[in-house]
Amino acid sequence: MGCKTWTNVPGIFSIEVERFNGIWHDMDGEAMPDAVQKALADCTDDYYELVIGFRSSGYSDPGVLSGPPERCYPPEGEDERVLDYVELDRGPKIRLDSDAAQSIFDAFEEDIIGVELDTDWRD
């Protein structure tokens, strides 16, 4: 098995958000980042799903773990994920400048990295 590469594979991370006492929180009660607070300031409902779309490009090489030492090397790979869009599951369109959208992406980057992708996907 050799090196596997992928380019621009789409992914989605979503998080439920709820307004309580005028402040947007995730469902664990954690206040959302300022960029989310500002983006949702004019929303009329108190509950939405915030959807963060992203694209992934990278490679995965399983390495060679057996055989002559000169032919062995450890597994390696890279998975770069970049922001595609931020939207709500329903209701009003939220308007974000690129800095605000990137701020939201950055706030959830660990979660976004954890999203499993179908790297065999083809556009």
Walk along the chain (123 residues) and give the pLDDT tens digit of each residue. Answer: 678 999 999 999 999 999 999 999 998 899 998 888 988 988 889 999 999 999 999 999 999 999 999 999 999 999 999 999 999 998 777 878 888 888 889 989 999 999 999 888 665
Distance between CA atoms of residues 19 and 46, nearest Å: 5
Q: Is the residue at 122 inside a domain?
A: no
Q: Is the residue at 95 inside a domain?
A: yes
* 8 three-state secondary structure: strand
Q: Is the residue at 117 inside a domain?
A: no
Q: Is the residue at 12 inside a domain?
A: yes
Q: Is the residue at 44 inside a domain?
A: yes
The whole-model pTM stands at 0.81
Domain count for the chain: 1
Q: Could you tell me the residue range of the domain that residue 9 belongs to?
A: 4-111
Residue (of 97, 93, 90, 107) closest to 34 by Cα position: 107
